[in-house]
C-alpha cells in the first residue's frame, strides 16, 4: 500500500520483531529506566556499530560481568 505525500512515497510495512528470547534462553520483559543524554547517545553509537538493538547492547554488557566491576569499584578496589 502506497500513500503519496508531496514528492515522497510512504510504504506501510510490518515492523520486524526485535526481541529474540531464544538467544539468551529466557523470555524478555520490558523495563523502563533513565539515562543522561550523553549515555543514551553512546548507547546508540555502540548499537549501531554492532548492528544490534540498544536493549541487546545492555543485555550483553550485563551478562559480560559488569556487575562484578561495579561491586569492586564500590568496594574501593582498583580494576583494570
pLDDT in tens, 26-73: 888 899 989 999 999 999 999 999 999 999 999 998 888 877 777 777
Residue 65, in any domain of the structure = yes
Residue 34, in any domain of the structure = yes
Mean pLDDT of 8-29: 60
Is the pTM higher than 0.85? no
Residue 32, in any domain of the structure = yes
Residue 80, in any domain of the structure = no
What's the confidence (pLDDT) of residue 14? 45
Residue 35, in any domain of the structure = yes
Per this entry, what is the length of the chain?
80
Residue 46, in any domain of the structure = yes
Residue 79, in any domain of the structure = no
Count of structural domains, the chain:
1
Instruction: Name every residue whose Cβ is closer than 8 Å to that of residue 47 and which is 6 or more positions away in sequence.
Output: 53, 54, 56, 57
Domain with 55 in it: 2-74
Amino acid at each position: 500500500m502506497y500513500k503519496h505525500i508531496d514528492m515522497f512515497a510512504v510504504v506501510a510495512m510490518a515492523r520486524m520483531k526485535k526481541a529474540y528470547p531464544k538467544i539468551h534462553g529466557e523470555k524478555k520483559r520490558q523495563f523502563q529506566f533513565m539515562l543522561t543524554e550523553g549515555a543514551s547517545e553512546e548507547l546508540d553509537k555502540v548499537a549501531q556499530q554492532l548492528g544490534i538493538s540498544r536493549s541487546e547492547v545492555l543485555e550483553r554488557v550485563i551478562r559480560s560481568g559488569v556487575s562484578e566491576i561495579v561491586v569492586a569499584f564500590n568496594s574501593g578496589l582498583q580494576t583494570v
